[in-house]
């Protein structure tokens, strides 16, 4: 590969789970999941990237990518010289049919070069489409407070835990008021919302692996399927089945 390429690609198809080592890439990255669920862990929290979504990572951000069962990943690395990408906000975006085709076309053509007008035009349209893509609420913030972090870890390990905040706080020797304040100040959301987000993101992994919705509802702490679907629809405006359906 020649040194003057300004976009490079990375393709991975894996049937088994796999965790990549932590790193800070010197290029911007657009990580697109065409099939399966990917988790991107960083200091501030975790993004979960379900099928037909992507995450934009600016250069220099330390992160660790975790591939869950049955993942097809397409990644574009954009050089920092592409200044149009500087204003893009990190986070998960919904991949429209047009953005999907741009990503796949870009991957198939890579490497791309700044002295080829067709490559420059392709990158310009790609960046424009990332900029206008709808963001998806698929982040689980981390907490630096040791007590709140212990509560969070309990729920990360077992999202089906139905104990109240008071019961969870008592287990770690803190008051529920204290833990609630920490979640509000550090996660920027109430504990109940953080717990709901945690359940949602675990549910993504189970659903993408093909588990029935009824089983997933129980695994993430809901008493019945209808209450889980109601929560899912409130968060994403659609049912779990429609959310994971490939776009036309």
CATH homologous superfamily of 143-243: Homeodomain-like (1.10.10.60)
- 109-115's contacts with Cβ under 8 Å and 24+ in sequence apart are 110/5, 110/7, 110/8, 110/9, 110/76, 111/1, 111/2, 111/5, 111/7, 111/8, 111/9, 112/5, 112/6, 112/7, 112/8, 113/2, 113/4, 113/5, 113/6, 114/4, 114/6, 114/81, 115/4
Give every residue of the chain whose pLDDT is below 50, as ranges. Answer: 1, 248
Beta-strand runs (E) in the chain: 7-14, 18-19, 23-24, 28-35, 38-42, 45-49, 53-57, 62-67, 71-78, 91-94, 139-141
The matching CATH number, chosen from 2.40.70.10, 1.10.8.60, 2.60.120.280, 3.40.190.10, for 7-132 is 2.60.120.280
Which sequence spans correspond to the domains of the chain? 7-132, 143-243
pLDDT for the residue 247: 53
pLDDT at position 1 is 44
Tell me if residue 94 falls in helix, strand or coil: strand
Query: Could you tell me which of 225, 192, 190, 195 has the C-alpha nearest to residue 207?
Result: 225
| Confidence at residue 248, expressed as pLDDT on a 0 to 100 scale | 46
- Do the first three CATH levels of 7-132 and 143-243 match, i.e. the same topology? no
């Amino acid at each position: 590969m020649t040194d003057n390429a300004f976009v490079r690609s990375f393709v991975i198809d894996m049937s088994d789970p796999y965790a990549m080592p932590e790193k800070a890439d010197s290029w911007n990255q657009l990580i697109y999941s065409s099939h399966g669920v990917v988790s991107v862990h960083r200091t501030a929290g975790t993004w979960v990237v379900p099928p037909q979504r992507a995450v934009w990572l600016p250069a220099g951000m330390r992160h660790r990518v975790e591939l869950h069962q049955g993942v097809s990943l397409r990644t574009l690395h954009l050089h920092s010289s592409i200044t149009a990408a500087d204003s893009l906000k990190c986070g998960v975006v919904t991949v429209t049919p047009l953005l999907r085709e741009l990503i796949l076309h870009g991957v198939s053509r890579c490497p791309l070069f700044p002295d080829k007008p067709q490559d420059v035009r392709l990158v310009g349209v790609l960046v424009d489409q990332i900029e206008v893509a709808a963001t998806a609420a698929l982040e689980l913030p981390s907490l630096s407070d040791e007590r709140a972090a212990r509560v969070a870890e309990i729920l990360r390990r077992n999202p089906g835990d139905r104990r109240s905040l008071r019961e969870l706080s008592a287990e770690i020797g803190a008051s529920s008021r204290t833990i609630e304040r920490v979640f509000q100040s550090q996660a920027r959301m109430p504990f109940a919302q953080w717990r709901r987000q945690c359940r949602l993101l675990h549910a993504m992994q189970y659903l993408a692996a093909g588990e029935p919705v009824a089983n997933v509802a129980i695994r993430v702490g809901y008493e019945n399927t209808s209450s889980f679907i109601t929560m899912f629809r409130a968060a994403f405006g659609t049912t779990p089945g429609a959310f994971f359906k490939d776009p036309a």
